[in-house]
């Protein structure tokens, strides 16, 4: 019995050692094709961040640049949006926030923005734009299939920093 346990122990030890060698050999079998380092410098700002609206697009409706008014008619069950291109023309990072005076102006009508904001408040998180960066932001309107037809009260939309 003692001899049987010794033989079994030796066999188990041999199998364990061979398995370990195979695993270790597999780890060292990879050849490094490329190796490098990163040296990162955060640039000092040349001036403060400054955001400008550099483009406006509407998916439907019209945009009047002089009055800054979006006029749109949306069928029930429809979604449309007003897009703004924001550019940071300053020398440092700037954060852009959005504002919607009333996100639910009528039953079945919802306004949203990217970045999202609560009704009547500025968004709590914004888009950070590095100096020279541009980003498209949007305000969108979705109308449910059971929304009541009619003209809604004016809704104030804002973009700020």
Residue 27 belongs to some domain of the structure: no
At 161, the pLDDT band (50, 70, 90 cuts) reads confident
Closest-CA residue to 131 (of 54, 45, 42, 52): 45
For the chain, the DSSP string reads -HHHHHHHHHHHHHHHHHHHHHHHHHHTT------------PPPPSS---EEEEEEEESSSEEETTTTEEE----TT-EEEEEEEEEE-SSS-EEEEEEES-S-SBTTEEEEEES---BTSB-SS-EEE-TT-EEEEEEEEEE-TTPPPSPPPP--EEEE-
Per-residue model confidence (pLDDT) at position 44: 76
Domain enclosing residue 133, as ranges? 51-160
Residue 25 belongs to some domain of the structure: no
> CATH number of the domain that 68 lies in?
2.60.40
Tens of pLDDT, residues 113-143: 877 767 677 777 788 899 999 999 889 999 9
Residue 26 belongs to some domain of the structure: no
Per-residue model confidence (pLDDT) at position 30: 64
3-state SS, 64-87, equals ECCCCEEECCCCCCCEEEEEEEEE
Tens of pLDDT, residues 5-64: 566 777 777 777 776 666 655 555 567 777 777 776 667 777 788 999 999 999 988 999
The C-alpha angle with vertex 139 and arms to 138 and 142, in degrees rounded to 5, equals 125
Residue 149 belongs to some domain of the structure: yes
Q: Could you give the C-alpha distances from 44 to 15, 34, 50, 92, 161, in angstroms and in order?
A: 60, 31, 16, 8, 20
Whether this model's pTM surpasses 0.75: no
At 147, the pLDDT band (50, 70, 90 cuts) reads very high
Please give the tally of structural domains in the chain.
1
Residue 35 belongs to some domain of the structure: no
């Amino acid at each position: 019995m003692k001899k049987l346990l010794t033989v079994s122990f030796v066999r188990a030890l041999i199998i364990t050692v061979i398995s370990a060698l195979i695993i270790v050999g597999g780890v060292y079998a990879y050849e490094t094709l490329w190796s490098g380092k990163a040296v990162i410098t955060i640039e000092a700002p040349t001036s403060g961040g400054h955001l400008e609206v550099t483009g406006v697009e509407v998916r439907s409706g019209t945009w009047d640049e002089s009055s800054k008014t979006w006029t749109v008619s949306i069928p029930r069950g429809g979604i449309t949006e007003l897009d703004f291109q924001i550019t940071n023309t300053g020398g440092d990072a700037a954060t852009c926030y959005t504002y919607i005076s009333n996100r639910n102006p009528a039953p079945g009508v919802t306004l949203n923005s990217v970045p999202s904001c609560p009704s009547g408040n500025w968004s709590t998180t914004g888009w950070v734009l590095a100096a020279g960066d541009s980003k498209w932001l949007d305000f969108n309107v979705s109308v449910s299939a059971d929304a009541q037809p009619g003209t809604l009260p004016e809704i104030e939309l804002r973009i700020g920093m």
